[in-house]
Structure 1
Amino acid sequence: MSTNQRLHVLFLHGFTSSARSGKANFLKDQCACLPHVDFTIFDFNPTPKDFEYLTVTGMINRVRQFLLERTWDKVFIIASSLGGLVATRYARQFGGIHQMLLLAPALFYHPWGTSQEQIAQWKRMQVAPVDHHGFQKAIPLRYTFHEDGLRYTEPVPPAVDTTIIHGRQDQTIPIAYSRDYAAAYPHKVKLVEIDADHRLTDHHEFLWKMARPLLHP
């Protein structure tokens, strides 16, 4: 089967996650049984220094460069948390995406869980430590992340058919935002609600159950 006849699944991880994401690697393992699917986990921060200078715009541009360097015809994006913001913005700005599955997505930028006082201190210091799950330690993050994020405070209309899986107990990114998005674009967005928190840790089998029918040739 030629490259252009295959379905290329690109997984975009969340803010403090990495290419070692449990969800991503579980789905990659399941996709191994589908001969027409190639599964790639994109790593936005392979080193702590990459994370220190992270911005949403930079994430979008890195995905753009990655796809420009390939001749993929049919691209399916699965994106988690902040990866959802990158995915929706990328698809709207550049196109070329076949379909998307978003997992507890951030559909717009908001300094989740960060107070105004903390943001002011971040601005003064120009850097703040962030507990990074992927590196399993605190990593500095430049204030430019917040400055750049303010460019993305509104969700964009879905560019392609989009399925969202979001947990009702998500205290990081409230499910209300996904509900509003699905209600605003009922012909493009399907929301699947489950009893889970933001990480969807115990629901990998369900994620695969929902993803598998979407990954048709």
Structure 2
Amino acid sequence: MERAVKKILYLHGFASSAQSTKARYFGKKFKAFQVEFHAVDFNPTPRDFEYVTTTGLINRLRQYVLDHHLGNISIIGSSYGGLIALHYAHCFGGVEKMLLLAPGLTWLSGGLAEEALEQWKKAGAAPVFHYAFEQEIPVRYGLQADGLCYLEPVPPAAPITIIHGYNDKTVPIEPSRVYATDFPDSVRLIEVDADHDLNGHLELIWEYAHSFLLGTE
């Protein structure tokens, strides 16, 4: 009896894209398996990024799943993509497993200075360099206003493996440690000697993606 094709979605981080190093790496790796792999692009145009909000991305992901008739899925969420994954699963269900890479478990997990927030609010937008578009884009303050709805982590709606670098200065590891401690039956934390991007640990990440998401462990 043939195994059912697994459907795995990759959610990129903030100011990244579906063509990121990790997205392309996973796309190549999963080709050897019975996997329908989707790297979701949350920012197809600069204007999408200008008006991005967390709620908007959760809803966009829902529409993507419905449009592609995906049914039950597993998710790989990188950084900000981890926040989207957690809240999508919490709101809509249908998620079998989540592999989260240096995830932001809450909005602005890495923090932002109060002065910078005030300047952003006053100006209405703040320039952010987008790596895929290779340019600065004025991101509207609506992102921060909407983000206030996501200041507390939601309980895991599916089994989760987190891989997080203990040298991460962008999204510190401590919230991941607390989350794994609070939900020991659902969350496993793998700590690695790395900073935020984790690109030096792709082979290790693949080992967990293969064993955890494809059910070989």
* TM superposition score category, shorter chain reference: over 0.9
Q: Give the Cα–Cα distance (whole angstroms) in 1 for the partners of residues 122 and 161 of structure 2.
A: 40
- Rounded to whole Å, the distance in 2 between the matches of 1:23 and 1:40 is 12
What is the aligned partner in structure 1 of residue 10 from structure 2? 11
TM-superposed deviation, 1:149: 0.3
Structure 2 match to 1:133: 131
Query: Displaced runs of 4+ in structure 1, greater than 6 A?
Result: none
After superposition, give the CA deviation of every residue in 1:64-94 in whole Å (9 maximum; x if it has no partner): 1111123323311000001111100010111
Question: Number of residue pairs matched?
Answer: 215
> What do residues 13-37 of structure 1 show as CA deviations (whole Å, max 9, x unaligned)?
0111111110111011011111x10
Equivalences for residues 149-160 of structure 1 within 5 A: 149-160=147-158
> Whole-Å Cα distance in 2 between the matches of residues 63 and 11 of structure 1?
11
In the TM superposition, what is the alpha-carbon distance from 1:107 to its structure 2 partner? 0.4
For 1:46 and 1:151, locate their aligned partners in 2 and report how far apart those are by CA, in whole Å: 25
Output the CA distance in 1 between the equivalents of 2:109 and 2:82: 15
1:70-85 equivalences under 5 Å are 70-85=68-83
Q: Report SS of the residue matched to 1:98.
A: strand
Alpha-carbon shift at residue 5 of structure 1 (Å):
2.8
What SS is found at the alignment partner of 1:208? helix
Determine the structure 1 residue equivalent to 2:48: 50
For 1:29, the aligned partner's letter is K
The amino acid of 2:4's aligned partner reads Q
Structure 2 stretches of 5 or more lacking a match?
none
Counterpart of 1:87 in 2: which secondary structure? Answer: helix
The answer to whether the Cα contact below 8 Å between 1:173 and 1:198 also exists between their aligned partners in 2 is: yes
For 1:201, the equivalent position in structure 2 comes to: 199
| SS class of match (1:129) | strand
Please state how far the C-alpha of 1:111 moved relative to its aligned partner. 6.7
Tell me the C-alpha RMSD between the 2 structures.
1.6
Contact 1:102-1:165 at 8 Å conserved across structures: yes
The C-alpha deviation readout for 1:158-181, integer Å capped at 9, x for no partner, is 000000000010000110010000
Aligned with 1:17: secondary structure?
Answer: coil
Give the TM-score of the pair, scaled to structure 2: 0.95
Query: What are structure 1's unaligned runs of at least 5 residues?
Result: none
The 5 A counterparts of 1:15-164 are 15-34=14-33, 36-110=34-108, 112-164=110-162
CA distance, structure 2, for counterparts of residue 84 and residue 215 of structure 1: 15
Q: State the one-letter code of the partner of 1:5.
A: A
**Bigger CA drift: 133-142 or 154-163?**
133-142
